Amino acid sequence: MLITNIEIIPGKKITQHLGLVQGSSVRAKHIGRDIMASLKNIFGGELKGYTELLQESREEAMGRMVQQAEAVGANAVLNVRFSTSSVAAGAAELFAYGTAVVLE
């Protein structure tokens, strides 16, 4: 499965468009990370726990998008975009979407 955020792949032809595919993941941070984060709020610096958490959930969202693309018979997802929104205090939604296509 080829995943990119450009619209064309040099040297490859799109033979079929299969429409929008999407995946999302809502995650809450756990209490241990919260305590570390409030310490970091005093000292400043990178919140590694959060970086990893968001990275993992973004990968999960992408995984779900890829599953959807496979289900419709695509072999590539083009023009992928990410978006983040906080749905409630302490929880964030990571959302990935793109266009499923068949490349020759």
Partner 1 sequence: MAEILIFVALLALGYGFGRHAETRHYKSIIQREAALRDIPVVTTKFPPLDHPVNAELVTGSVVISVDYFKRFLAALRNLAGGRVTSYESLLDRARREAVLRMKQQTLNLGGHIIFNVKLETASIHKGRGSIGSVEVLAYGTALIHPH
Q: CA 100 → CA 1, 8, 12, 50, 86, distances in Å?
A: 10, 12, 15, 30, 27
Q: CA 80 → CA 8, 41, 42, distances in Å?
A: 12, 33, 36
The span from the CA of 94 to the CA of 25, in Å, is 5
Residues 39-98 that bind partner 1 (CB under 8 A): 40-48, 50-51, 54-55, 58, 80-86, 89, 92
Q: By CB under 8 A, tell whether 102 contacts partner 1.
A: no
- DSSP code of residue 31: H
The CB-of-84 to partner 1 minimum distance in angstroms stands at: 4
Interface pattern 2-31 for partner 1 (x via CB under 8 A) = xxxxxxxxxxx-------------------
Binding site for partner 1 (CB under 8 A): 2-12, 37, 40-48, 50-51, 54-55, 58, 80-86, 89, 92
